[in-house]
């Protein structure tokens, strides 16, 4: 990852809200060769694990679905974090942009049969252009106004998706094309050299690099001029304006970045699910989908790149695991009409409780807990030994 | 013409319910919070009343105030134990905590009372009378009367009582209100109790025949959001008028817009009425950015 | 050439003529005129509610004057939006701190250089050649400023956890990072103890002498103003009641009356 090279100042504690562990510039010596080696070997090991995962998880339901959906939704969560976390604008309309992306994929990939290499970027571009138009109208409004306008966006968008039958297939829905580049398609298994890959594994190796690119892009962005402008507008709009930042243009820019990532996420999401009904992105379901994205960044860690990823993976894994292992959980209904609660209800209630607990007691999310533990460990005797 | 008058009657009845929901939003907004859980408050209120009447054989006129008390206490509890500790947090967090409460209450309602549809236990049923060819249900008349009573009550409350005036002062400027000796935590509790009151009444009437009560009832509250902006954020009169306009627009659009016989603008699609209010809101805001009755807020540095 | 002759001959950097500001029947400023010369340290004083902050908010384009003209280096300031001020060469600090609390000291200073940088979203996200060079260059410049203000030990801390006095200094540093021609300071020593006040005073003098930046200061601390300002303007109930050197103003009967009240 290419990070800004800071000549004198370490960037590690940016936005953490936690005292730096090395208190002065004077004492923060350049990382020793040993520590650098340690850091790289941890990253290398992590990379190997990511490569090995689809071969280990493939026969154990539902781990492959969790990985693929989690990776795809993480791209969208990252996008929402740019808007909500870094720029401080609460949008309930993120699902709408996923819908725009998914229908771009359906139309250009399905109706017109274009290559994945064209429809995926196009999903981002079209979502971005629509984001620009909507942002220019709605971002004149502040706080509650904006939230309600984005709510309107989900309802109006849902209505359009439902009625634009040529693209969406109307209320019965329509199938979504699998990614395809030339003759190579993600619809069925194939052998690459000596390795046999099934559809889910192929999807994993497609989605993961896209997520990694998105992570690098957002991380770099937040450490450079425009990313700082987003955060300045979030923290104090009047002061930001006096630094030469045009607040309304900056907000619209953040809205567009968030929409582009939402669109790409939506295209991959639709393509992975293979069949979509327009209700998924609009109306009440669209609103719930948007709220789920907000929950991801709150539980994972607001205004944090790893936070968005962790939140997306966690909220994807939890309901899948509950429904897979519902047999083993007491009080869960084992079949229709046998009494007890459904696994769906259980996931919903856990989700609401989790969201509430984090909002009330741990607003910095899982990343906040991690940072606190890290700071405590580094301050302790073990920490002194490590450094 | 008959169709139009019939739709007008339905529109006014629905508009009254929207007005109550919008009033609930606006009152809580006076305490600086937008309550996305309003829909679930209505849901819980309607279920409590229905359960009291149908399962416990409590008379409807007694069950309704009991439902109001339960939901008002719930609202006050939420304010006292959860919202109060979040006072310094950003708007975003407050929105999310009420959304979280909304999900929670809806799931709990499903767990307690199940997924099946039920009636709300009101005594009106489908009884009614006809004026010429126009059919009017007793339930609609009761909605109108209850709404008028509540509005009259709130008018006097805000205008003449100590707490009502204090609430209006608080809505204008929390710090200034505290500085002149208004007990803010008391005011906040009252706003949440009022929300419980209007939510329960709105919820019960929303579930009145020919509609039914199920766990989706609360989603209607989301359609009422444009009302509070349409009238101008923070204006109670505006919220009530906004609610009425919304009800009329929705019912008229459901009657006249679509692809059916005697319907127009088929290209807008069936079910356009569910989003018509948001489209209307968008148009109004483009012309009048602070709503029909709102004033521009002056930002202080 | 003597100091006095030089300052009287120097062109006015900021000229305010007949500024008036009214809110809903309240007149916050009425018919205020003054000019500030290049390189000058100009102070505005007055009792509470005299209109000092209103004046500041007009110059920094938060408020629009009801009537009156304001020109800065020949440009009509009233036509500019507040986000165009930085480029025009005006920076300000706030009475109750205008820092970005969750950003670090270094990042706060870098935001100050926003208008001097170019990278957009795509360049920043990709972080290729030009964007990278620019980022490194400006980080180096901010590190120098941090050095100048002796803030090194706080550089990578989020400002919200720093002591108040340090935050005030960071805000000054951020304003300097804009490389302004004119620096507006709204009560830079409010809420500070004697020692911190002296430190800020010496920084203000350094800014004047080493960086040559013109400064306008609104301040309650009379000793500070009289000790360091070149000229002082006194406002009372929105009107200008005196303008001149500290010693002229101190002996002005109107000023004495405004501060001591009528006998």
**CB of B289 less than 8 A from some CB of A:** yes
Q: Which chains does chain A touch, 3 or more C-beta pairs < 8 A?
A: B, C
Give whole-number Cα distances, A185 to A105, A199, C164, in Å: 15, 9, 61
CB of C134 closer than 8 Å to CB of A273 = no
What distance in Å separates the CA atoms of residue C245 and residue C257, rounded to the nearest whole number?
A: 18
Residue among C60, C82, C110 whose CB faces A228 most closely: C110
Interacting residues of A376 by C-beta distance below 8 A, sequence separation 6+: none
CB contact under 8 A, A242 and C60: yes
Interface of A with C in 239-258 (CB under 8 A): 239-247, 253, 257
Angle at B26 between CA B22 and CA B27, to 5 degrees: 120
CB of A116 closer than 8 Å to CB of A179 = yes
Start-end of H helices in chain A: 33-57, 63-80, 94-104, 116-138, 143-163, 165-168, 199-222, 225-235, 237-242, 247-273, 283-300, 305-324, 343-361, 365-379, 381-386
Count Cβ–Cβ pairs < 8 Å, chain A vs chain C: 159
Residue C190 burial (CB count, 10 A)? 16
CB of B71 closer than 8 Å to CB of B41 = yes
Which of C95, C118, C127, C145 best probes binding to A when mutated, by most A CB atoms within 10 angstroms? C127
Tell whether omega for the bond before A62 is within 30 degrees of 0, i.e. cis: yes
**Residue C218: strand pairing partners:** C44, C186
CB contact under 8 A, B111 and A148: no
- Evaluated on CA atoms C143, C146, C150, C151, the torsion sign reads negative
End-to-end alpha-carbon separation of chain C, Å?
45
Residues in chain B: 301
Q: How far is C100 from chain B (nearest CA, A)?
A: 15
Residue B54 burial (CB count, 10 A)? 14
What distance in Å separates the CA atoms of residue A343 and residue A325, rounded to the nearest whole number?
A: 9
Q: How far is A246 from chain C (nearest CA, A)?
A: 5
- Which residues of chain B does A148 touch, with a Cβ-Cβ cutoff of 8 Å? 225-226, 228-229, 281
CB of C177 closer than 8 Å to CB of C112 = yes
CB of C145 closer than 8 Å to CB of C63 = no
- Which residues of chain C does A253 touch, with a Cβ-Cβ cutoff of 8 Å? 121
Pairing of strands C214-218, C182-186: parallel
Give whole-number Cα distances, A141 to A135, A248, B97, B282, in Å: 10, 10, 22, 11
Residue ranges of chain A with per-residue pLDDT less than 70: 1-32, 330-340, 382-387
What distance in Å separates the CA atoms of residue A136 and residue B12, rounded to the nearest whole number?
A: 35
Residue among A10, A217, A235 whose CB faces C156 most closely: A10
Report, in angstroms and rounded to the nearest whole number, the Rg of chain C calculated over CA atoms: 19
- Which residues of chain C does B298 touch, with a Cβ-Cβ cutoff of 8 Å? 23
B242 half-sphere exposure, CB direction, 13 A CA radius? 33
**C138, two tokens:** 């400006």
What distance in Å separates the CA atoms of residue A269 and residue A72, rounded to the nearest whole number?
A: 6
- Evaluated on CA atoms A86, A87, A89, A93, the torsion sign reads negative
Q: How far is C111 from chain A (nearest CA, A)?
A: 6
What distance in Å separates the CA atoms of residue A162 and residue A169, rounded to the nearest whole number?
A: 8
Q: How far is C172 from chain A (nearest CA, A)?
A: 13
What distance in Å separates the CA atoms of residue A87 and residue A218, rounded to the nearest whole number?
A: 13
**A316, two tokens:** 């994807």
Nearest residue on chain A to C98, alpha-carbon basis:
A239
φ, ψ of residue C76 in degrees (nearest 5) = -80, 105
Residue among B96, B222, B285 whose CB faces A151 most closely: B222
Classify residue C26 by burial, with Cβ atoms within 10 Å: 0-12, 13-18, 19+: exposed
- Which residues of chain A does C170 touch, with a Cβ-Cβ cutoff of 8 Å? none
Angle at C55 between CA C49 and CA C56, to 5 degrees: 105
What distance in Å separates the CA atoms of residue B217 and residue B110, rounded to the nearest whole number?
A: 12
Residue ranges of chain B with per-residue pLDDT less than 50: 297-301
**CB of B3 less than 8 A from some CB of A:** no
User: pLDDT at position A25, please?
Assistant: 35
- Which residues of chain B does C53 touch, with a Cβ-Cβ cutoff of 8 Å? 301
DSSP string, B3-23: HHHHHHHHHHHHHHHHHHHHH
**CB of A6 less than 8 A from some CB of C:** yes
The residue assigned the tokens 């505290």 is B178
What distance in Å separates the CA atoms of residue B111 and residue B89, rounded to the nearest whole number?
A: 31
User: pLDDT at position A2, please?
Assistant: 42
CB contact under 8 A, C82 and A242: yes
CB of B269 closer than 8 Å to CB of B243 = no
CB of A333 closer than 8 Å to CB of A340 = yes
Which of B90, B222, B224, B232 best probes binding to A when mutated, by most A CB atoms within 10 angstroms? B222
The residue assigned the tokens 């989690």 is A70
Q: Is B149 helix (H, G, I), strand (E, B) or coil?
A: helix
What distance in Å separates the CA atoms of residue C183 and residue C177, rounded to the nearest whole number?
A: 11
φ, ψ of residue A179 in degrees (nearest 5) = -60, 140
Residues in chain C: 263
Helix (H) / strand (E) containing C45: strand C41-45
Residue among B85, B92, B229 whose CB faces A84 most closely: B92
User: pLDDT at position C10, please?
Assistant: 60
Residue among A2, A20, A245 whose CB faces C114 most closely: A245
**CB of B219 less than 8 A from some CB of A:** yes
User: pLDDT at position A90, please?
Assistant: 84
CB contact under 8 A, A155 and B282: no
**B48, two tokens:** 């409590």
Give whole-number Cα distances, B173 to A352, B170, B179, B181, C65, in Å: 32, 5, 10, 13, 25
Give whole-number Cα distances, C37 to A152, C73, C227, in Å: 53, 10, 19
What distance in Å separates the CA atoms of residue B232 and residue C83, rounded to the nearest whole number?
A: 29
SS3 content of chain C, % helix, strand, coil (to 5): 45, 25, 30
Nearest residue on chain C to B299, alpha-carbon basis:
C62
- Which residues of chain B does A152 touch, with a Cβ-Cβ cutoff of 8 Å? 225-226, 275, 278, 281-282
CB contact under 8 A, C106 and A235: no
- Which residues of chain A does C163 touch, with a Cβ-Cβ cutoff of 8 Å? none
What distance in Å separates the CA atoms of residue A86 and residue A155, rounded to the nearest whole number?
A: 26
Q: How far is C107 from chain A (nearest CA, A)?
A: 7
Nearest residue on chain B to C62, alpha-carbon basis:
B301
Q: How far is C40 from chain A (nearest CA, A)?
A: 22
CB contact under 8 A, C23 and B298: yes
CB contact under 8 A, B301 and C23: no
User: pLDDT at position A1, please?
Assistant: 39
Interacting residues of B226 by C-beta distance below 8 A, sequence separation 6+: A148, A152, B242, B246, B277, B278, B280, B281
Q: Which chains does chain B touch, 3 or more C-beta pairs < 8 A?
A: A, C
Give whole-number Cα distances, B101 to A147, B75, B199, in Å: 17, 11, 15
**CB of C42 less than 8 A from some CB of B:** no
What distance in Å separates the CA atoms of residue A229 and residue A218, rounded to the nearest whole number?
A: 14
Q: What is the pLDDT along chain C (263 residues), one digit of tens a residue?
A: 344 444 444 678 999 999 999 887 788 898 999 999 999 999 999 887 788 888 988 998 888 899 999 999 888 998 898 899 999 999 999 888 889 999 999 999 999 999 999 999 999 999 988 899 999 999 999 999 999 888 999 999 999 999 988 998 999 999 999 999 999 998 888 888 888 889 889 999 999 998 889 999 998 888 888 889 999 999 988 899 889 999 998 888 888 887 766 44
Start-end of H helices in C44-128: 52-59, 85-88, 105-112, 121-126
**CB of B298 less than 8 A from some CB of C:** yes
Report, in angstroms and rounded to the nearest whole number, the Rg of chain B calculated over CA atoms: 19
């Amino acid at each position: 990852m290419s990070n800004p090279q800071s000549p004198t100042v370490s960037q590690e504690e940016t936005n953490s809200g936690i005292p730096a562990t090395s208190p002065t510039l004077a004492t923060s010596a350049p990382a020793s060769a040993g520590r650098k080696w340690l850091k790289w070997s941890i990253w290398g090991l992590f990379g190997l694990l990511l490569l090995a995962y689809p071969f280990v998880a493939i026969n154990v339901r539902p781990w492959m679905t969790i990985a693929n959906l989690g990776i795809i939704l993480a791209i969208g969560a990252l996008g929402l974090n740019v808007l909500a976390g870094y720029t401080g604008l609460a949008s309930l309309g993120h699902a709408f942009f996923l819908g725009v992306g998914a229908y771009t994929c359906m139309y250009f990939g399905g109706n017109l049969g274009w290559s994945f290499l064209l429809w995926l970027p196009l999903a981002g571009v079209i979502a971005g252009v629509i984001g620009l138009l909507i942002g220019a109208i709605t971002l004149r409004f502040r706080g509650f106004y904006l939230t309600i306008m984005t709510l309107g966006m989900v309802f109006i968008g849902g209505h359009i998706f439902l009625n634009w039958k040529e693209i969406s297939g109307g209320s019965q829905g329509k199938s979504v094309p699998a990614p395809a580049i030339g003759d190579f398609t993600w619809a069925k298994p194939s052998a690459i050299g000596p390795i046999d890959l099934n559809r889910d594994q192929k999807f994993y190796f497609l989605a993961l690099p896209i997520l990694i690119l998105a992570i690098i892009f957002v991380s770099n962005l937040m450490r450079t001029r425009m990313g700082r402008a987003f955060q300045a507008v979030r923290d104090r709009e009047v002061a930001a304006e006096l630094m030469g930042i045009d607040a309304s243009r900056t907000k619209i820019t953040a809205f567009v970045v968030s929409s582009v990532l939402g669109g790409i996420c939506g295209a991959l999401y639709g393509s992975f699910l293979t069949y979509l009904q327009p209700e998924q992105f609009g109306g009440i379901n669209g609103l719930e989908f948007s709220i789920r994205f907000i929950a991801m960044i709150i539980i994972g860690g607001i205004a944090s790149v790893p936070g968005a990823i962790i939140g997306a993976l966690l909220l994807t894994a939890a309901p899948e695991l509950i429904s897979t292992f519902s047999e083993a959980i007491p009080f869960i209904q084992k079949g229709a009409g046998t009494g007890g609660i459904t696994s769906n209800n259980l996931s919903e209630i856990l989700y609401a409780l989790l969201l509430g607990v984090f909002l009330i007691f741990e607003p910095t999310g899982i990343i906040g807990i991690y940072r606190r533990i890290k700071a405590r460990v580094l301050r302790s005797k073990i920490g002194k030994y490590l450094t | 013409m008959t169709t139009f008058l019939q739709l007008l009657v339905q529109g006014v009845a629905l508009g009254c319910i929207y007005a109550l929901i919008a009033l609930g939003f606006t009152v809580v907004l006076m305490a600086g919070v937008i309550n996305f859980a309003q829909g679930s408050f209505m849901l819980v209120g309607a279920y409590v009343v229905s359960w009291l009447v149908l399962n416990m054989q409590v008379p409807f006129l007694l069950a309704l105030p009991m439902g109001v008390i339960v939901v008002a206490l719930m609202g006050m509890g939420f304010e006292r134990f959860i919202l109060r500790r979040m006072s310094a947090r950003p708007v975003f967090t407050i929105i999310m905590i009420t959304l979280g409460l909304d999900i929670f209450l809806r799931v709990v309602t499903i767990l307690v009372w199940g997924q099946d549809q039920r009636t709300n236990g009101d005594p009106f049923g489908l009884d009614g009378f006809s004026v010429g060819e126009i059919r009017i249900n007793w339930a609609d008349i009761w909605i109108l009367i209850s709404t008028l009573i509540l509005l009259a009550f709130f008018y006097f409350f805000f205008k003449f009582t100590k707490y009502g005036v204090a609430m209006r002062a608080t809505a204008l400027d929390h710090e200034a209100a505290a500085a002149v000796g208004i007990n803010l935590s008391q005011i906040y509790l009252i706003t949440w109790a009022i929300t419980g009151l209007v939510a329960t009444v709105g919820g019960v009437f929303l579930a009145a025949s020919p509609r039914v009560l199920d766990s989706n009832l609360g989603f209607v509250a989301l359609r009422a959001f444009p009302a509070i902006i349409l009238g101008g954020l923070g204006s109670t009169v505006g919220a009530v008028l906004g609610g009425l306009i919304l009800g009329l627009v929705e019912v008229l659009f459901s009657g006249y817009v679509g692809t059916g016989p005697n319907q127009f603008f088929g290209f807008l699609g069936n079910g356009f009425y569910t989003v018509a209010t948001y489209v209307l809101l968008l148009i109004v805001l483009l012309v009048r950015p602070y709503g029909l009755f709102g004033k521009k807020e002056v930002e202080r540095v | 050439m003597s100091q006095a002759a030089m300052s009287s001959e120097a062109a006015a950097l900021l000229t305010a003529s007949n500024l008036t500001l009214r809110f809903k029947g309240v007149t916050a400023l009425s018919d205020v005129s003054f000019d500030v010369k290049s390189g000058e340290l100009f102070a505005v004083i007055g009792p509470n509610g005299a209109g000092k902050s209103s004046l500041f908010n007009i110059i920094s384009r938060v408020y629009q004057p009801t009537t009156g003209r304001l020109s800065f280096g020949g440009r009509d300031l009233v036509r500019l939006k507040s986000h165009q001020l930085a480029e025009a060469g005006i920076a300000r600090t706030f009475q109750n701190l205008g820092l970005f609390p969750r950003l670090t000291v270094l990042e706060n200073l870098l935001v100050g250089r926003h208008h001097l940088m170019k990278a957009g979203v795509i360049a920043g996200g990709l972080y290729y050649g030009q964007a990278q060079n620019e980022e490194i260059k400006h980080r180096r410049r901010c590190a120098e400023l941090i050095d100048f203000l002796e803030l090194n030990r706080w550089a990578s801390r989020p400002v919200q956890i720093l002591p108040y006095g340090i935050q005030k200094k960071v805000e000054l540093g951020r304003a300097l990072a804009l490389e302004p021609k004119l620096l507006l300071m709204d009560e830079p020593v409010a809420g500070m103890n004697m020692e911190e006040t002296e430190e800020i005073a010496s920084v203000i003098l350094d800014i004047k002498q080493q960086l040559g930046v013109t400064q306008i200061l609104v301040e309650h601390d009379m000793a500070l103003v009289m000790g360091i300002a070149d000229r002082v303007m006194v406002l009372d109930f929105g009107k200008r009641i005196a303008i001149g050197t500290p010693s002229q103003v101190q002996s002005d009967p109107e000023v004495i009356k405004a501060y001591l009240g009528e006998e």
